[in-house]
């Protein structure tokens, strides 16, 4: 019985000499080579990174998270993530939001979000700094004008509009979420208004 127990223990110890990763991925630099003796104090033997799909983790303001959850009906997975690579090129594979943290980072008033992004061509690399863009489940329709057409003074933002008599008038506007190229106008303009976009510096009401 004693010899059988020793044999069983030897088989268990032998099984411990082979370590199998629970994931598929790319292996990094090996710290220990075959034939070396290792023990619990040897540290990390090697790192393996899952490559497809990849996780992208980013912070978003708490207010924005609440708005997104309300618009998505509490279904975070319906939100689409687009990724801009470090060279400024948009990654061609859209991802899905799959996790919203359960606490707020107090000093920044943000919440951590995580998305899953396909990586079939291995273009994304672990630890890479990218820009994440969240697309709402419902596209937002808004009037938009070139950002260069919007001016500002002490009263706020305004544009120059050509009326039906071909006269220029100053029109106060309120802006929504905008990009460097386009400004979304939430109030002050109506569809069909003619907005001056060229020669603004020479225009007067």
pLDDT the model gives residue 138: 64
pTM (2 d.p.)? 0.55
Compute mean pLDDT per 10 residues along the chain, 205 residues long, and list them.
88 82 81 80 81 86 78 67 87 85 78 87 85 74 85 88 88 82 85 85 82
- Give the integer Cα–Cα distance in Å for 161 and 62: 37
- Give the integer Cα–Cα distance in Å for 192 and 205: 19
pLDDT the model gives residue 67: 77
pLDDT the model gives residue 73: 67
In sequence order, which residues have a C-beta less than 8 Å from that of residue 81 and are 6 or more positions away?
56, 94, 95, 96, 97, 115, 117, 132, 133, 134, 135
Interior angle at CA 33, CA 30 and CA 34, nearest 5: 135
pLDDT the model gives residue 36: 82
pLDDT the model gives residue 187: 85
pLDDT the model gives residue 137: 60
């Amino acid at each position: 019985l004693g010899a059988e127990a020793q044999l069983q223990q030897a088989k268990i110890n032998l099984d411990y000499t082979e370590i199998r990763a629970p994931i598929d991925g790319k292996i990094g630099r090996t710290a220990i080579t075959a034939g070396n003796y290792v023990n619990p104090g040897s540290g990390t033997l090697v790192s393996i990174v899952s490559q497809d799909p990849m996780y992208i983790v980013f912070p978003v303001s708490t207010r924005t998270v609440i708005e997104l959850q309300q618009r998505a009906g509490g279904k975070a997975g319906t939100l689409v993530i687009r990724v801009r690579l470090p060279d400024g090129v948009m990654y061609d594979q859209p991802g899905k939001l799959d996790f919203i943290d359960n606490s707020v980072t107090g000093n920044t008033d943000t919440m951590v979000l995580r998305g899953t992004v396909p990586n079939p061509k291995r273009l994304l690399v672990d630890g890479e700094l990218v820009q994440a863009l969240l697309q709402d489940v419902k596209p937002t329709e808004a009037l938009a004008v070139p950002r260069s057409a919007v001016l500002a003074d002490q009263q706020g933002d305004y544009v120059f509009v050509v009326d039906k008599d071909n006269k220029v008038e100053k029109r106060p506007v309120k802006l929504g979420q905008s990009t460097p190229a386009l400004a979304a106008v939430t109030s002050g303009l109506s569809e069909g208004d003619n907005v001056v976009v060229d020669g603004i510096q020479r225009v007067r009401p």
